[in-house]
Amino acid sequence: MQRDQIRNLISILDLSVDEIDSLIRVANDIDQNPEKYAECCRHKQLATLFFEPSTRTRLSFESAMLSLGGSVLGFSSANSSSAAKGESVSDTVRTVGNYADIIAMRHPKEGAPMIASRHTTVPIINAGDGGHYHPTQTLTDLLTISRKKGRLSNMTIGLCGDLKFGRTVHSLIEATLRYEGIRYILISPEELRLPEYMIEELTKAGAEFQEVTDLEAAMPELDILYMTRIQKERFFNEEDYLRLKDIYILTPDKLANAKADLSILHPLPRVNEISVKVDEDPRACYFYQTLCGKQIRMALILFLLGLTPKD
Ligand code: CP
């Protein structure tokens, strides 16, 4: 296939709202009728090229492809690939494009998956690039929200924690800005505020948003609470990380004034920011989110490969 005919997923904005709605419909059908999809990717191969650690994203991609009847290959760290010998991302994907039909790639450098997409003729999926974007986490979050709320519009979303380096936050805001009636409460310490370019996007879109530091004060207003980890690996010095790492810890008592139908999301992994005591609260959705992650990635693989189940 010609390079300009390939669909990649580098940013969530590479998908229209209609396409996202369609992926959600397919993921819901996969949930109800998994057997219908069991052979869809027979003889297809997914390569997972992970230059950074991952549990959920890599394993859910691999599980998704296996559940579609395809197979997987790849590596889980830069050290076990020829990147350790100095190979460029473009040479790596040019090579892997000869072995796989689709590539999911995570890289610590912002923009690396976009560069990769210019050097291969198979679809590239950005599985997280530095502190930039994580579009398949956003698809996961949208599927979770749509299932829990029955809608993707008209709600107040509280985003709490590391809004500076948290790439899942950036992608989720970009996605939800396209739905009506979304109000944002951005809860972070001054040092970890949402980057200026994202504030500009919110302002340009005319979105209603406020920046605050107090999680408990914001709690009663929230329909969605999106907790995030303080991103240790992106800090320039340990001292700052240690000072900020436990700044928000969600405990059952802090939910006393929350709505009864609040949904608590977290892309995971969690460190300290949600007490394990919250896990039993019916409003905690973060492990359910990991199931949604597999199902929406199944739908995405089918979409990017142009495949549909045989009825
Ligand atoms: N949510 C997420 O990206 O998790 P992993 O880092 O485990 O893939």
Average pLDDT of 292-309? 96
Q: Cα(2) to centroid of ligand 1, in Å?
A: 32
> Does 235 lie in the same domain as 92?
no
Q: State the pLDDT at residue 1.
A: 64
The whole-number pLDDT of residue 244 equals 77
Active site amino acids = 56-57, 85, 106, 134
Among the atoms of ligand 1, which is closest to the Cα of residue 57? 8
Looking at residue 240, its pLDDT comes to 79
- Confidence (pLDDT) at 256: 96
Using CA atoms, how far apart are residues 305 and 271, in angstroms rounded to an integer?
36
76 pocket-lining for ligand 1 (C-beta < 6 Å): no
Q: For all residues of the chain together, what is the average pLDDT?
A: 95
Instruction: Tell me which of 136-140, 213-217, 231-235, 301-305 is least confident.
Output: 231-235
What per-residue confidence (pLDDT) applies to 2?
66
Domain assignment present for 310:
no
- Whether residues 77 and 157 share a domain: the answer is no
Amino acid found at 124 = I
Which residue, chain included where needed, has tokens 């959600």? 24
Assess if residue 213 is contained within a domain. yes
Atom of ligand 1 nearest to the CA of 127: 3
Nearest CA residue ID for atom 5, ligand 1: 54
Residue 167: predicted pLDDT:
86
Query: Could you give the CA distance from residue 24 to residue 26 in angstroms, rounded to a whole number?
Result: 5
193, 277: one domain: yes
Testing ligand 1's pocket by substitution, the residue of 165, 268, 286 carrying the most ligand atoms inside 8 A of its CB is: 268
Total domain count, the chain: 2
Look at ligand 1, atom 4, and give the residue with the nearest C-alpha. 56
Tell me the percentage of the chain whose pLDDT exceeds 70. Answer: 98
Question: Does one domain contain both 62 and 190?
Answer: no
Q: Average pLDDT in the 296-301 region? A: 98
The verdict on the CB of residue 55 being under 6 Å from ligand 1 is yes
pLDDT of residue 242: 83
* Ligand 1 probe mutation, 48, 52, 56, most atoms within 8 A of CB: 56
56 belongs to a structural domain: yes
User: In which residue are the tokens 């996961």 written?
Assistant: 140
For residue range 26-60, what is the model confidence (pLDDT) as tens digits? 999 999 999 999 999 999 999 999 999 999 999 99
What percent of the chain lies above the pLDDT cut of 90?
A: 89
For the cut 60, the answer to whether the pLDDT of residue 303 exceeds it is yes
Handedness of CA 282, 228, 104, 84 (dihedral sign): negative
Clarify whether residues 88 and 212 are in a common domain.
Answer: no
162 CA from centroid of ligand 1 (Å): 15
Considering only CA atoms, give the Rg of the chain: 19
Q: Residue 60 falls within a domain, yes or no?
A: yes
Q: Do 140 and 103 share a structural domain?
A: no
- pLDDT value at residue 223: 98
For residues 40 and 189, give the distance between their C-alpha atoms in angstroms, rounded to a whole number: 46
Residue 282 domain flag: yes
Q: Which of 48, 55, 61 to mutate to test the pocket of ligand 1 (most atoms within 8 A of CB)?
A: 55
Q: Is residue 299 part of a domain?
A: yes
293 lines ligand 1 (CB under 6 A): no
Q: Does 215 score more than 80 pLDDT?
A: yes
Domain that holds residue 174: 136-290
Of 59, 63, 137, 290, which is best to mutate to test ligand 1, by the most ligand atoms within 8 angstroms of its C-beta? Answer: 137
Task: Please state, in angstroms and rounded to a whole number, the distance separating the CA atoms of residues 9 and 104.
Answer: 9
268 lines ligand 1 (CB under 6 A): yes
At 120, which CATH number? 3.40.50.1370
Residues 122 and 40 in one domain: yes
Distance 294 CA to ligand 1 centre (A): 12
- Measure 235 CA to ligand 1 centroid, in angstroms: 18
Give the HSE-up count for residue 277: Cα atoms under 13 Å, Cβ half-sphere.
8
Same domain, 172 and 247: yes
Judged against a pLDDT cut of 70, whether residue 226 lies above it is answered with yes
pLDDT tens figures, 242-294: 887 889 999 999 999 999 999 999 999 999 999 999 999 999 999 999 999 99
- 206 alpha carbon – ligand 1 mean position (Å): 31
Same-domain pairing of 95 and 224: no
On whether both 95 and 160 belong to a single domain, the answer is no
Any residues with CB less than 8 A from the CB of 148 and at least 6 apart, and which? 263, 285
pLDDT tens per residue across span 164-200: 988 899 999 999 999 999 999 999 999 999 999 999 9
pLDDT value at residue 115: 97
**pTM listed for this prediction:** 0.95
Q: Is residue 21 one of the residues assigned to a domain?
A: yes
Domain annotation covers residue 141: yes
My answer on whether 146 and 246 are in the same domain is: yes
pLDDT at residue 110 greater than cutoff 60 = yes
Pocket lining: 289 vs ligand 1, CB cutoff 6 Å: no
pLDDT band per the 50, 70, 90 thresholds, residue 311:
low
- Specify whether 116 is located in the same domain as 232: no
The pair of structure tokens assigned to 216 is 């408990």
